[in-house]
């Protein structure tokens, strides 16, 4: 038996619902003992809804000797302060994306974690889901040959969405940082590190609130950073990928990741989902949808809830908990999180300078073992997919 990792969640908003549910129900390696939030009422509500023993302040969580791992689910602009506080208090940390909103902050956190020998895991963990692990297996089993190029596209009306998800109005709320990160994470997990970035971009418009019945007194705002980016990424493996993030358009997502190879084409599923399948295209053949080779397909078989839409978020926390116990590197590592941020920040730098930007960091991410599925025995008890997180 692996000793459970005593865990606390900080940040009790929207996404905490699926994290708390999954951490409580799906992973035997996690013992979720406490929740904390800036406003205590939100933490009390989650504790009551999901049956968590303790409601604590952020400072109490940092000071609690028995808590080993803190899962940070606050908005991106709050990440740096909370992660730093928890690392300095000797806690391992898992954080939602992006690790921070500036590269200097992220590099400082990586240095602190290294100095203190602590784990710092970073979302997106959709890269560990059935959709993207199957896509990776297709590449590693040589189903499309050598990847020469690719395309990654996502669009939304990010300004309209920032009325509802108000944290999007702050740093880290632009479409590239909030959603493009899933595309960057997926590309990195499939193709490895990036060595060169070029880009053009445009800001978000000044937004006049449209849901006036909801927010009649709001002043207009502009989401910081570039909300539209057209970039070219050169990967160390030799592939070149065109990236288009457009947050200034309508909420009719045209998500697309396509990888072109010497013997075939891989259409990768939606990287924001755990259950989006990939398909193969060969010359003169019908397009073929690939069956999942891995578990964590986003289907929650235990006590269905409206938040199951968010799939198996938290799988990266459990994988990191097993890594902590085994003393091995975790897959959604601080190096992966830092490289994701370097790619996004590199796009902004390339837009500002007109130059090619070369990321400094590197990372490695081993694939999960195939052949373990989440719905084994109807998903009753602990699904056998958890076995794939152990090594
Ligand atoms: N909403 C989504 O669809 C979604 C999906 C995936 C990931 N995420 C990520 O999860 C994180 C949280 O998103 P959300 O949608 O739950 O946001 P949210 O605004 O619903 O919740 C954030 C919570 O954090 C709390 N908080 C803010 N600053 C804090 C601080 N300094 N200390 C303690 N608590 C603080 C707020 O009170 C709130 O309860 C973000 O990083 C976001 O990018 C969100």
| Mean pLDDT score, 227-236 | 98
Closest by alpha carbon to 277, among 262, 287, 285?
287
Q: Is the pLDDT of residue 55 over 60?
A: yes
Predicted confidence band of residue 215 (pLDDT cuts 50, 70, 90): low
Among 12, 15, 180, which is best to mutate for testing ligand 1, by the most ligand atoms less than 8 A from CB?
15
Phi, psi of 249 (to 5 degrees): -120, -155
Residue 164 has a pLDDT of 85
User: Average model confidence (pLDDT) for the chain?
Assistant: 95
Q: Which residues contact 92 (CB under 8 A, 6 or more apart)?
A: 5, 68, 69, 70, 118, 119, 120, 121, 320, 324
Write the residue with the smallest CA distance to atom 2 of ligand 1: 15
* 301-339 tens-digit pLDDT: 778 888 988 999 999 999 999 999 999 999 999 999 999
Burial of residue 191 (CB within 10 Å: 0-12, 13-18, 19+) is buried
In contact, 388 and 295? CB cutoff 8 Å: yes
* Lowest-pLDDT choice from 82-96, 157-171, 193-207: 157-171
Among 13, 168, 179, 247, which is best to mutate for testing ligand 1, by the most ligand atoms less than 8 A from CB?
13
Q: Is the pLDDT of residue 191 over 80?
A: yes
Give the start-end residues of each E strand in 204-249.
Answer: 226-235, 240-246
Instruction: Using the mean position of ligand 1's atoms as its centre, give its distance from the Cα of residue 133 in Å.
Output: 26
Q: Is the pLDDT of residue 378 over 70?
A: no
| Mean pLDDT score, 67-74 | 98
Residue 112 has a pLDDT of 98
Give the pTM. 0.96
- Where are the domains positioned within the chain? 5-126+311-389, 131-296
Distance CA 36, CA 34 (A): 7
- Whether the domain at 5-126+311-389 and the domain at 131-296 fall into the same CATH topology: no
> Quick check: CB of 73 below 6 Å from ligand 1?
yes
Write the residue with the smallest CA distance to atom 25 of ligand 1: 11
Please give the CATH topology (third level) of the domain spanning 5-126+311-389: Rossmann fold (3.40.50)
The CATH number that domain 131-296 falls under is 3.30.360.10
| Mean pLDDT score, 206-214 | 69
């Amino acid at each position: 038996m692996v000793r459970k990792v005593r865990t606390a969640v900080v940040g009790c908003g929207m996404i905490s619902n699926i994290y708390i549910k999954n951490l409580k129900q799906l992973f035997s390696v996690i013992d979720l003992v406490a929740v904390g939030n800036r406003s205590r009422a939100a933490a009390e509500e989650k504790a009551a809804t999901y049956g968590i023993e303790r409601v604590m302040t952020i400072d109490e969580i940092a000071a609690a000797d028995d808590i080993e791992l803190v899962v940070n689910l606050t908005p991106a602009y709050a990440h740096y302060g909370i992660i730093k506080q928890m690392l300095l208090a000797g806690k391992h940390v898992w954080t939602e994306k992006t690790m921070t909103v500036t590269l200097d902050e992220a590099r400082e956190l990586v240095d602190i974690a290294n100095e203190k020998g602590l784990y710092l895991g970073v979302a997106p963990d959709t890269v560990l889901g059935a959709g993207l692990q199957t896509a990776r297996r297709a590449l590693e089993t040589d189903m499309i040959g050598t990847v020469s190029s690719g395309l990654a596209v996502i669009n939304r009306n990010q300004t309209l969405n920032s009325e509802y998800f108000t944290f999007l109005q702050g740093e880290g709320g632009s479409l590239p940082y909030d959603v493009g990160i899933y595309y960057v994470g997926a590309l990195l997990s499939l193709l490895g590190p990036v060595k060169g970035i070029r880009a053009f971009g445009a800001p978000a418009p000044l937004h006049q609130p449209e849901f006036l019945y909801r927010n009649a007194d709001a002043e207009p705002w502009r989401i910081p950073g570039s909300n539209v980016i057209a970039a070219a990424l050169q990967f160390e493996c030799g592939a070149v990928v065109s990236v288009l993030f457009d947050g200034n358009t309508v909420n009719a997502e045209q998500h697309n990741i396509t990888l072109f190879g010497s013997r075939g084409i891989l259409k990768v599923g939606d990287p924001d989902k755990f259950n989006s399948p990939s398909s193969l295209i060969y010359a003169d053949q019908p397009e073929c949808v690939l069956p999942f080779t891995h578990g964590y397909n986003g289907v929650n078989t235990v006590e269905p809830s409206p938040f199951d839409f968010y799939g198996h978020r938290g799988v990266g926390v459990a994988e990191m908990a097993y890594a902590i116990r085994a003393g091995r590197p975790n897959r959604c590592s601080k190096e992966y999180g830092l490289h994701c941020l370097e790619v996004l920040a590199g796009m902004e730098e390339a837009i500002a300078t007109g130059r090619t930007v070369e990321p400094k960091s590197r990372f490695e991410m081993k694939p999960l073992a195939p052949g373990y599925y989440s719905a084994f025995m109807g998903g009753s008890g602990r699904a056998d997919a958890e076995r794939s997180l152990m090594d």
